[in-house]
A = this chain, B = another copy of it.
């Protein structure tokens, strides 16, 4: 078991100085062709590669990006990572992943671990607990220490960083408009509590669409699910709440759900009540996950383009990292959504 070879060892073997080896390997014209070839041959033979850690220390750059997300077992987030990884790798960056599990403490700890030199910048989506507590000191501290952040999807406005979001309002509006055009009269929304920004915005889009079509919103049609805690019986609770929704609104004929799971569950409940989809009830979800594609009937959804969000976030971050000289200006990039029509709508 031979350890990785270093400049020092090569220098000793060839009886030259370390700097000669270093220069020879970087093809410096300072070094004679003779020694250059000798050194390079030797290095190749022993498969020399410069040590990343040493380079990081020297350059004060790690060429790695830290990602903090609430969970990874989630189609949207893994898509985003995939997008980040794609452009990061293309530009010679690595990607290090930390999971907050929706917990404030884990988010803070993870960020602190990575911020101590391990990475050059963050791409992150905020944990629900953090949004609830509204404690954002860790973001501000990281930024004030000169480490840029790019937030995506679950963001907070008054933090000085680039942001990549989906046009939640517009996407929701398009979806609900579609339902209205398709003839739905009683359209429910299944959304999250308001502290989750995306839930709040999508609800706003829902309301705007109704208003545009002169439909008066009905409180009983708005279901705000509390998914703070993802517990064992979470699914049952969800199903139960949706059942109440259907019971309270006998003439319900359209459902807009702010995520895939809510949408799937709504379809399930509708079937339970003997409703046919899409003839009796039409359903539209948000997110382009696997569930939607392979559900029966397949689900019409507002596609978020997670991959593209990741790519854009990585581009923004890397640009910041490599153009520190530019004056500080932060942008919020909006990734357009698409309505993907499938079989849960007419």
Contact = CB atoms under 8 A, between A and B. Distances in A.
Interface in A1-37: 1-4
B75 A82 contact: no
A141 interface: yes
A3 B115 CA distance: 12
Contacts of A52: 113, 116-118
A315 interface: no
A81 interface: yes
Contacts of A75: 73, 290
Contacts of A113: 52, 94
A146 B73 contact: no
Given A82-B71, A95-B97, A114-B94, A53 B57 contact: yes
A227 interface: no
A40 interface: no
Interface in A54-68: 54, 56-57, 62, 64
Interface residues of A, number: 54
A73 B62 contact: no
Contact of A295 (B73, B81, B294): B294
Interface string A314-326: 0000000000000
Interface stretch (A43-51, A172-180, A215-223): A43-51
A271 B343 CA distance: 16
Contact of A96 (B47, B64, B291): B64
Contacts of A49: 112, 115-116
Interface string A73-114: 111001101100100010000111111000000000010111
Given A75-B290, A291-B291, 17 more contacts: A1-B146, A4-B116, A47-B141, A51-B57, A51-B117, A52-B116, A53-B117, A57-B57, A64-B118, A72-B72, A73-B79, A81-B97, A85-B97, A89-B98, A95-B97, A264-B294, A268-B296
Interface of A: 1-4, 47, 49-54, 56-57, 62, 64, 71-75, 78-79, 81-82, 85, 89, 94-99, 110, 112-118, 141, 144-146, 261, 264, 268, 271, 289-291, 294-296
9 contacts: A3-B145, A49-B112, A51-B57, A53-B117, A72-B81, A72-B85, A95-B97, A96-B97, A268-B296
